[in-house]
Structure 1
Amino acid sequence: MVTRPPSTEEIEAYAATFRNFPRPTSAQLLGFEPVEIDVPGQRMVIDFVATDRMLNPAGKVQGGILTAMMDDTMGPLAHIMSGGKMMPSTTDIHTQFFRPCDVGAYRCEARVTRMGRTLCYTSADLFNGRGQKVASAIQTAMMLPFAPNGGK
């Protein structure tokens, strides 16, 4: 079945409801707080908070946590850009780390690189509270049909 892509108006209407979505426990753990959704620019900004529960043995934020912050920005962006009709399932994520990270505030900026009917390519940059880039990621996600509450 071939479906048409959602219009910009449909995506913007769906994006406007995003702040009211229930937060999954992983997002709660990461301190997930939406900042900006730029539909025409296919871009999203989310703030996160790293706590002392996220530290590795060296006393720095564990790299998987930083990757999760970027994943938790790229995934919702892909979902929103589908007008809420598709849910991304990550098939590949590649992360580069640039500096050790401490407990504190982080901001992630994600962009859609290309969105097709079945695959979405995104990228993200993660910044610490001083505005320094601490990590970047690129992601490929398979877009699967989405029905809220299992279609019930």
Structure 2
Amino acid sequence: MVTRPPTTQEIEAYAATFRDFPKPTSAQLLGFEPVEIDVPGQRIVIDFVATDRMLNPAGKVQGGILTAMMDDTMGPLAHIMSAGKMLPSTTDIHTQFFRPCEVGRYRCEARVTRMGRTMCYTSADLFNDRGQKVASTIQTAVMLPFAPDREK
């Protein structure tokens, strides 16, 4: 368990390696592409791509997919802000949808609202390729110790 909060230097060093991490299959499905990591501002920007495999019967991107894009932005942010020592496990997520979404590119901007030793509160906004906000979410996550198995 982390006994002290990481320093800004530790977080920045870990953030610098983030783009080189292998993408989980869920991130690959969503077209996950990091754009910006702002350690002092405790925020991150990630691009996604919605494909025709993500449509609901109405021909729009399914809301759970949009929520997954925001979740896949807030989770890495919380992990980075712990300097890689903790992984967030969502305990609550609340999403608001503002407009129907089409196949295409989306940008998610997430920020830490508050981060403690065991809990992290984040929020995110998702934008379409015209810069229109399509959804917002707030999330509560419990932070769990993380020790990656380097031999896999």
TM-score after normalising by structure 2? 0.97
Residues 50-77 of structure 1 show CA distances to partners (whole Å, capped at 9, x for unaligned) of 0000000000000000000000000000
Pairing 1:114–2:114 present: yes
Tell me the equivalent position of 1:6: 6
Give how far 1:149 is off: 1.4
SS in 2 for 1:68: helix
Tell me the equivalent position of 2:88: 88
The AA in structure 2 aligned to 1:81 is: M
Task: After superposing the two structures, state which structure 1 stretch, 141-150 or 75-84, moved more.
Answer: 141-150
The AA in structure 2 aligned to 1:34 is: P
Counterpart Cα distance in 1 of 2:149 and 2:124: 29
Give how far 1:27 is off: 0.1
**Displaced runs of 4 or more, over 6 A:** none
Tell me the equivalent position of 1:71: 71
SS in 1 for 2:149: helix
Gaps (5+ residues) in structure 1? none
Residues 9-47 of structure 1 show CA distances to partners (whole Å, capped at 9, x for unaligned) of 000000000000110000000000000000000000000
Give how far 1:2 is off: 6.4
Give how far 1:150 is off: 7.5
Gaps (5+ residues) in structure 2? none
The AA in structure 1 aligned to 2:130 is: R
Q: How does 1:18-57 map onto structure 2 within 5 Å?
A: 18-57=18-57
Give how far 1:131 is off: 0.2
The AA in structure 2 aligned to 1:132 is: Q
Q: RMSD across aligned C-alpha pairs, in angstroms?
A: 1.3
Counterpart Cα distance in 1 of 2:22 and 2:2: 30
Paired residues of 2:94 and 2:138 also in contact (CA < 8 A): yes
How many pairs does the alignment contain? Answer: 152
TM-score after normalising by structure 1? 0.97
Tell me the equivalent position of 2:142: 142
Identity of aligned residues (%): 89
